Amino acid sequence: MKQSRSSDTRNRIVAAAQELFLTKGFDGTSVAEVCRAAGVSNGALFHQFPTKEDLGFAVYALVRRAFWDRVMAAMTAPEDPLDGIEAAVRAAFAFQRDEQGSAAFMFDVSGSKWIEAFGAQSQEVHDAFSAKGLAWAAPHIAADRLPPVPLDVFVALASGAPQWIGRMSRIGMNSMSLDEIAEQLPRYVRRAFTPQ
CATH of the domain at 5: 1.10.10.60
* Long-range residue pairs from 94-101, CB within 8 A, at least 24 positions apart, any chain: 94/70, 94/182, 95/66, 95/67, 95/70, 95/71, 96/162, 96/163, 96/166, 96/178, 97/178, 97/179, 97/182, 99/66, 99/67, 101/22, 101/23
> Do 58 and 131 lie in a common domain?
yes
> Do 71 and 120 lie in a common domain?
yes
> Do 72 and 169 lie in a common domain?
yes
* Per-residue pLDDT, 151: 86
* Per-residue pLDDT, 1: 54
Average pLDDT over the chain, rounded to an integer? 93
> Do 84 and 175 lie in a common domain?
yes
> Do 78 and 2 lie in a common domain?
no
* Per-residue pLDDT, 59: 98
> Do 130 and 113 lie in a common domain?
yes
Whether 118 has a pLDDT exceeding 70, the answer reads: yes
> Do 78 and 162 lie in a common domain?
yes
> Do 79 and 123 lie in a common domain?
yes
Name the pLDDT band for 2 (thresholds 50, 70, 90).
Answer: low
Average pLDDT over residues 163-189: 92
* Per-residue pLDDT, 4: 76
Could you report the per-residue pLDDT of 19-62, keeping only the tens digit for each? 999 999 999 999 999 999 999 999 999 999 999 999 999 999 99
Number of domains in the chain: 2
> Do 17 and 63 lie in a common domain?
no
Q: Decide: 93 and 168 in contact? Cβ < 8 Å.
A: no
> Do 72 and 4 lie in a common domain?
no
> Do 68 and 30 lie in a common domain?
no
* Per-residue pLDDT, 190: 95
Parent domain of 20: 1-50
